[in-house]
Amino acid sequence: MTFWWLNWLLKLGFKQPIEIQDLGTLPETHKAFRLYSNLKEDIRKQQTCPLWKHLYRICRRDIILAGFTRLGFDIAGYIGPLALNGIVTYAINYEEKQAEAHYVTIEEFFSNGFVLVGVIFISSTLQSVLIQKHVYQCNIIGLHVRTAIQTLVYDKSLKLSSYSLSGGV
């Protein structure tokens, strides 16, 4: 994939120094306050759960999406070897003969070696897109979890008194 979405920023940075307002704003779904609020609300509702369950609840949709993209990547990984087996079979059984005109069945179509080469290309491209989406989704989940925990710890440290921080001295 390319970084076409970054070209405008690179051109602007080449012409003049980039200012903070040139970068735009962070989407609401990635803001620390929203992540902290969701985690705090979930902890308030069920205080007896371990922290990982609370984190799963606030990132559930993204975790499930990342799981399905990984599943799609793994399933697409089986297509290549199966198609390669079909290509070898096609090459072994290939004979130059004139067949009379008839409608091609789906089985005949997908047993053609040239079609199977296209199938391998499409499945490899699909695998590439799915693994990129999976890695991106996992990075976003990690950032969200880290931000929520950091904000929770920071909020807790602000509520502690200086007497308890100094060890009672």
Does any domain span residue 34? yes
**Residue-level pLDDT at 137:** 96
Q: How many residues does the chain have?
A: 169
What's the rounded Cα separation, in Å, for the pair 55 and 145?
A: 7
Residue 98: inside a domain, yes or no? no
Radius of gyration over every alpha carbon of the chain, rounded to an integer in angstroms: 27
**Lowest-confidence range among 61-70, 124-133, 151-160?**
151-160
* Statement: residue 163 has pLDDT above 70: no
String of DSSP letters for 61-104: HHHHHHHHHHHHHHHHHHHHHHHHHHHHHHHHS----PPPP-PP
**Count of domains observed in the chain:** 1
- Do residues 69 and 141 lie in contact, with contact meaning Cβ atoms separated by under 8 Å? no
What confidence tens digit (pLDDT) does each residue in 81-100 have? 999 999 998 888 877 655 67
141: containing domain: 29-93+106-158
Q: Band of the pLDDT at 22, cuts 50, 70, 90?
A: confident
The pLDDT-based confidence of 25 (bands split at 50, 70, 90) is: confident
Is the pLDDT reported for residue 13 higher than 70? Answer: yes
Enter the pTM of the model.
0.77
- pLDDT in the model for residue 14: 92
Q: Is residue 54 part of a domain?
A: yes
